[in-house]
Each structure stands twice: as C-alpha cells, then as structure tokens.
Structure 1
Amino acid sequence: MNIDFAGKTVIVTGAAHGFGRAIALAFASRGATVHACDVNEAGLAETAALGENVRTHLLDVGDRSAAQRLIAGIEAEGATVDILVNNAGGVRGQVGRPIEEISEEDWQSIFDVNLSGAFFMAQAVAPGMKRQKYGRIINISSGAGLGISLTGIQAYASAKAGQIGLTRQLAHELGAWNITVNNVAPGFVRSNPTTERQWDAMGEDGQAKLLQNIALKRLGVPDDIAAMVLFFASDFAGWVSGQVISVDGGK
C-alpha cells in the first residue's frame, strides 16, 4: 500500500515526543508539510531535527484563542489544513487517587488537554476544510476511553471516552463536506517519560500480567500508532468515518 501526502498540510499536536513525534515524522517522510505543535519547546526542536518539512509551534491546545491564531497564521500563508491529528493529551503528571482526593483543578486540567483541546483544534480547522470540501481529522484517544484507565485516573478515562463521543458527533456534522473524523485508541506503549514511569511502577509481576493480556504477547511502538493514523488520513480510508480502531496488540 503506497500512501503519499505530497502537497498536503498537516497539523500534529503533542508532537514533542512519543506518538506525536512518530506521526509527524511519518507524514513528513511522505511529502507533507507538517506543523508540529506542543508546549515542550525542546522536544519540538528534536522532532524538527529528525525530519524535513517540519515546522514547529508552541501551542497549548486548551487555549481556544491560541488554536484560532495558529490556523489563521497558516491560512495567511496561503495554505489550508488538510489533515489534523489531535494527539496532545496525557495525565499531566497525575497518578491514580481515590475520588474524594481529586480537586477541581486536577479534573479540569486533564479535560483541557485531552478533550477541550481536540474540540478547539477541530473547530479552528473546520471552516477551511469546509471551503475546500476536503479534510481528515484523526483523534488519538486511549484504551482507557473504551474501558478503564490502568492507572486509575478518573478524569483521563472520562476525557478519552468523551473524545470518542466527539469523534462520532463530528463525523456526522462534517461529513457533508467530505471531511472524515476517526479515532485511534492505543494500548499501552512505552513512548514517553510518563509511560516509562508507569511501566516501572508495575514491577515485574505487573509487566508480565500486562503482556499476558495482549494477544500478541508484546508491547507496540509509536510507529504502530502512526501507521493507523496514516491509513485514516489516506485516500484508502475515504469512505471511513466515525470509527474507533484499537491499536493494542489484541485484547
């Protein structure tokens, strides 16, 4: 399957490491102009150094005005965003705690990046995609959005489930303009400092149990997630929308 994105303009959020970096580089290596966004400036610089046609932007996706400014700036240069990958997310340093210990700030901060950010970015690119009657929006959720959070973080499981609902809703709203909206739900992948800490915290018994529950008996890598994103963004998925695909080695 030859997938090419020459001439396409792509935005990837959360592109400073892990899934986002792998996704950004996968598009860039296939000819796209990639706008890599994150709050981590050093990580963005590392991503850009690894691929051609990668431009970087400091962006907090939970800031609606900042999202609007980014898209306005890209369009002012004569481009329209063809593909948006909402990968920014995570647990923002939190760990699983009993429900009565969760503050309003703890709850909201996870929703800001995982759910509100996906909405704000989609909202910003939608007018341009409608004008050109073409677009691909791919949201990166989690197995936690389909089941439970392995780390017990209530807001994370809830926000990722909400993102899956947003995917389905936007697929129906935007489909008339030939805009597809799909979702990738990764399983546990050691892809960034947070997942490394989670892996270490499991201990040998927990790690063995996790692997035993995976059909393929091994962990995936960020490129496995990027491959599914490329499919959803490609012409091969032109009649696929509102779908959630688990990339988790089989559960």
Structure 2
Amino acid sequence: MNITFEEQTVIVTGAGHGFGRTIALAFAADGAQVYACDVQDVALQETAALAEAAGTPLRVRRMDVTDPAAVQTLVDEAARATGRVDVLVNNAGGVLGQVGRPIEEITPADWRAIFAVNVDGAFLCAQAAAPHMKRQRRGRIINISSGAGLGISLTGIQAYASAKAAQIGLTRQLAHELGEWGITVNNVAPGFVRSNPTTERQWESYGEEGQRRLVNNIALKRLGSAQDIAHAVLFFASEQAGWITGQVLSVDGGK
C-alpha cells in the first residue's frame, strides 16, 4: 500500500512529544506540509529539530487548543499559506498532571480542565477546519482517544475516561454531519504505550509485578510504540480509507 501526502496540508495538535510528535514526523516524511502545534515551546523546537535532521522540515506553532481565537488563527494561517487544509489530527489531551483520586476529592476545576483539552480542543479544531474542508469537498479528521474511552482508565481518573468517551461520541456525530462534503472523521484509541514523561511515570508506578500483569493482559504480549499509533492515523488519513468514517480503531495489541 503506497501512502503519500504530497501537496497536502496537515495539522497535528499536541505535537511536542509522544504520539503527536511521531505522527507529525510521519506525515512530514510522507511529503505533507505539516503544522505541528503544542503549548510547549521547547518540546516543539525538539520536534522541529528532528524533522530538520531527517530532511523533512515542518512548521511548528505554539497553540492552546482550548483557546478558540488561537485555534482559528492557526487553521486560517495554514489555509492561507498552502491553499488548503486536508488533514486534522486532534492529538492534544492527557491528564494534565492529575492522578487517580476518590470522586469526592475531585474539584469542578479538575474535571473541567481535562474535558477542556481532550474534548473542547477537538471540537474547536474541527470547527475551525471544517469550512476549509467543505470548500474542498474533501478532508480527514482523526481524533486520538484512548482505550479509557471504551472501557475504564488505568489511571483511575474519572474525567479522563469520561472525556475520551465523549470524544468518541463527537467523532461519530461529526462523521454523519460532514460526510456529504467528502470529509471523514475517525478515531484511534491507543492502548498503553510508553510515549511521554506521563506514561513513563505511570509505567514505573506499577512496579515489576504490575508491569508484568499489564503486558500479560495484551494478546500480543508486548507493549506497542508511538509509531504503531502513527501507522493507524496515516491509514485513516489516506485515500485507501476514503469510505471509512465514524469508526474507532483500537490500537492496543489485542484486549
């Protein structure tokens, strides 16, 4: 299967590390004009340096996905500079440094913060990109959810499991709303992958026995990589996935 993104414009959020960085670099390697966005300036520069070293440079922009004006500005900039917006990958999210606690200890601010970055961010980015994709009568929106959105969160964080489930609902709804313009909307739900400082801390917290148990519960008996997630995203963004929409693909080694 020959997948290429020559002359396509791709926006990837949360591209400072982990899945987002790997996804952005993969699109750039396949010829796309990539806008890699994150709130972490230093991490973004590291992403840019890796792309430059590989001979596949990309554009990096600081952007907070919970800021509607910032999102609109970035999407419009990409459309003006390249003439189009072909692919949006809503990867920004996470637990924002929170840890699992009893429900009675969760403040409204804690709850809302996780929803803001995981759900509101995906909504705002899709809202800004949709008019450009409608004009083209073609587009791909890929949301990065989590196995937590299909079951329970290994972190025990109530807001995270709920937000990722909500993002899956948004995926399905937008697929039906935008389909008549040739826009597909799909979701990749990763299993546990050691891809960033947060997941590294989570892995260490399990201890040797917990790590062994986690791996033994995976059908393939091994952890995946950020590259495994990127492969799924590139497939959904490709021409080969043109008649696939509203779907959730679990990339988790088998559960």
Query: When the two structures are superposed, what TM-score results if normalisation uses the length of structure 1?
Result: 0.99
* Per-residue deviation, 1:50: 1.2
Q: Which stretch shows the higher mean deviation, 187-196 or 56-65?
A: 56-65
Task: Pick one of 202, 209, 212 that aligns with 2:213.
Answer: 209
Distance 1:223 1:78, change over 3 A: closer
Paired residues for 1:163-202 under 5 Å: 163-202=167-206
Unaligned runs of 5+ in 1: none
In the alignment, structure 2 segments of 5+ residues that lack a partner are none
Partner residue, 1:47: 47
Distance 1:4 1:78, change over 3 A: closer
Q: Secondary structure at the match of 1:21?
A: helix
8 Å CA contact 2:184–2:244 kept in 1: the answer is yes
Contact 2:91 2:143 in 1 (8 A): yes
1:236 maps onto 2:247 in alignment: no
What do the CA deviations read for 1:87-107 (whole angstroms, capped 9, x no partner)? 000000000000010011110
Give the distance between the partners of 1:211 and 1:177, measured in 2 at CA: 42
CA distance in 2, matches of 1:47, 1:6: 20
Q: Quote the sequence identity (%).
A: 70
Task: Give the superposition deviation at 1:238.
Answer: 0.4
Q: Distance in 2 between matches of 1:21 and 1:68?
A: 21
The answer for the alignment partner of 1:117 in structure 2 is 121
Q: Is residue 2:30 matched to residue 1:26? A: no
Which stretches of structure 1, 4 residues or more, deviate above 6 A after TM superposition?
none
Equivalent in the alignment of 2:98: 94
Shift, 1:49, TM fit:
1.1
User: Which range is displaced more, 91-100 or 73-82?
Assistant: 73-82
- Per the normalisation by structure 2, the TM-score is 0.97
| Number of aligned residue pairs | 251
Q: Deviations over 1:56-100 (max 9, x none)?
A: 010110111111111122223242110000000000000000001
Corresponding residue of 1:57: 61
8 Å CA contact 1:16–1:37 kept in 2: the answer is yes
The answer to whether the aligner puts 1:37 opposite 2:41 as a matched pair is no
1:190 aligned partner, one-letter code: R
CA distance in 2, matches of 1:164, 1:99: 23
Q: 2:249 aligns with which of 231, 241, 245?
A: 245
Residue 129 of structure 1 corresponds to 133
Q: Alignment partner of 1:50: what SS?
A: helix
CA distance in 2, matches of 1:54, 1:114: 24
Mapped contact 2:185–2:246 kept (Cα < 8 A): yes
> Per-residue displacement from partner, 1:4-50 (whole Å, max 9, x unpaired)?
00000000000001100110000000000000000011111111111
Residue aligned with 1:77, SS: helix
1:103 paired to 2:107: yes
Task: Indicate if the aligned counterparts of 1:32 and 1:53 stay in contact, CA closer than 8 A.
Answer: no
* In 1: Cα distance, 2:210 partner to 2:163 partner: 25
Root-mean-square deviation (CA, aligned residues, Å) is 0.7
